[in-house]
Amino acid sequence: MRSNTPDEETIAALATPRGVGAIAIVRLSGPRALEVAAGLVRRPDKLRACATHRLLPVDIVLEDGSTLDQALCAVFRRPHGYTGEDAAEIYLHGSPYIVDRTLERCFALGARPAQPGEFTLRAYLNGRFDLAQAEAVADLIAAGSETAHRTAMAQREGALSRRLGSLRERLTRLCGLLELEFDFSDQEAPLVEPTTLKEELTSVDGELQVLEASFTRGRLAREGAVVALAGAPNVGKSTLFNALLGEDRAIVDATPGTTRDAVEAVVEWDGLVLRLVDTAGQAGHFQGPDRQASDRARIAARAADAVLWVWDLTKGVDQDPPPPELADRTLLVGNKADLAFRPQIAAFPGLAVSALKGHGVEKVKEAILRLVLPDGGLQTADGPLTRERHCEAVRRARDDLSRGLAVIRDDRGQELLAQDLREAATHLGEILGEITPDDVLNRVFADFCIGK
């Protein structure tokens, strides 16, 4: 679908959401972008002579010379624009009719429709930024919280790229010294001592270990966390769900099995986006639709980043415990504390709350954040890993370094060591897009909108 080289075709697309609005932006990029833009306007010579980064008032005209719209056109001459190519942006009135006719004219004049993310793909292929920074553009557009925005901006400004670039440069330098020794193998003294090699590789691996561990907070900052409310029927999960939201979203009724389909809502606490999921009650004796709802609740709990396992305190402590496989991410919450006796509350090993009256709800929120963020925060200015492909590349680089350290330990030759270092550097380069197959690029840019 895409080639790993800049395209010679000129592309056009709507860069703003489709629909009626005050302003709509049509974007052009490619070798004929300015010529296509000139073909849209009443005074084309004025646009052709326009300097880069200038805004020009224009009349958009149809084939018969009639005026379609009075607009503005921004000119970006290569290599100074977003894509690194000649580009233009046309600011129209936000009528779908005006937009469609303008795009039709662009295509008639030789442009083709842009594919998702193609403008940013061209910027990457033209060296405007690396692949990690390109991914951050999509994250910036999708950011739904302060933390997600801050993380995307740090990555877009190169925080992650600088960390990876520094480590890759260290590996490349060591590899170069080893390969230089191949050419001067008759020299008695090595260019780099084995002890120094071991120390440097251990140091790089330590930094990669820290980087790999940053994926948890990087993913949470970018995607948020899923918190499932689970437990037996009629323990007050939906009431607690509503209390955590601060509004009545889920239906509350004394009849067991009221909740069959999961109810979801998104909240933001301390800069972290959380998707709360109120699940159906779980019980082994259910049949039919109730059994299906119970099974789906178990699946939702297993997929969550954190689970609130809710008990009814009025029934004592002899209740179904959370499944053992969820133990490391489960918070035990005892509901209906306002109806329970003090001995029942005192014997409870978790957080006692009254969801109906709101007592203890803030403590539950604090406990959720501690459970989801064991390190106590979402500091992202240092450029954490934000995607699984980043983390996988770092894991492979660490495997390469582990093999390299084994080569040093067993004194198996510098040729093998140089190969391991070269492969580690290559894996880090994959994150930045320095050596990236087309199928990886296709997956990365498929998530973009058409006009970006």
Is residue 88 within 8 A of residue 37, CB to CB? The reply is: yes
Pick from 31, 66, 36, 62: nearest CA to 48: 36
Q: Is the pLDDT of residue 359 over 50?
A: yes
Q: Which CATH superfamily is domain 137-218+387-433 in?
A: tRNA modification GTPase MnmE domain 2 (1.20.120.430)
Q: What's the pLDDT band for 413 if we cut at 50, 70, 90?
A: confident
pLDDT in the model for residue 341: 86
In order of 219, 274, 376, 384, 401, the CA distances from 226 in angstroms are 12, 6, 17, 20, 34
**Average pLDDT score over residue span 345-361:** 90
The answer as to CATH 3.30.360.10 being correct for domain 237-269+276-372 is no
CA 10, CA 106: separation in Å to the nearest integer? Answer: 10
Task: Please give the residue that has the higher pLDDT: either 291 or 445.
Answer: 445
**Average pLDDT score over residue span 93-103:** 97
In the predicted model, what is the mean pLDDT of the chain?
Answer: 87
* Whole-model pTM over 0.85: no
Q: What's the pLDDT band for 178 if we cut at 50, 70, 90?
A: confident
pLDDT in the model for residue 335: 92
- Find the range with the poorest average confidence among 67-76, 250-259, 294-303: 250-259
Give the domain 11-129 fold: Gyrase A; domain 2 (3.30.1360)
Domain ranges of the chain: 11-129, 137-218+387-433, 237-269+276-372
**Average pLDDT score over residue span 378-387:** 81
Q: Is the pLDDT of residue 1 over 50?
A: no
Q: What's the pLDDT band for 184 if we cut at 50, 70, 90?
A: low
pLDDT in the model for residue 185: 59
The proportion of the chain whose per-residue pLDDT surpasses 90, expressed as a percent, equals 58
pLDDT in the model for residue 3: 46
pLDDT in the model for residue 444: 73
DSSP state of 314: G
CA 395, CA 211: separation in Å to the nearest integer? Answer: 10
Beta-ladder partners of 229:
278, 308
**Average pLDDT score over residue span 43-55:** 96
pLDDT in the model for residue 382: 78
CA 43, CA 391: separation in Å to the nearest integer? Answer: 53
Q: Is the pLDDT of residue 164 over 60?
A: yes
Task: Please give the residue that has the higher pLDDT: either 20 or 216.
Answer: 20
Please give the helix or strand (H or E) that residue 112 lies within, else none: strand 112-113
pLDDT 10s digits, 61-82: 999 999 999 999 999 999 999 9
**Average pLDDT score over residue span 434-452:** 71
pLDDT in the model for residue 438: 67
pLDDT in the model for residue 2: 41
Q: What's the pLDDT band for 299 if we cut at 50, 70, 90?
A: confident
Q: Is the pLDDT of residue 201 over 80?
A: yes
**Average pLDDT score over residue span 286-303:** 72
Where is mean pLDDT largest: 290-299, 318-327, 355-364, 429-438? 355-364
CA 306, CA 299: separation in Å to the nearest integer? Answer: 13
Please give the helix or strand (H or E) that residue 447 lies within, else none: none
In order of 5, 78, 113, the CA distances from 134 in angstroms are 16, 19, 21
**Average pLDDT score over residue span 150-155:** 92
Phi-psi region of 21 (alpha: psi -120 to 50; beta: other; left: phi over 0): beta
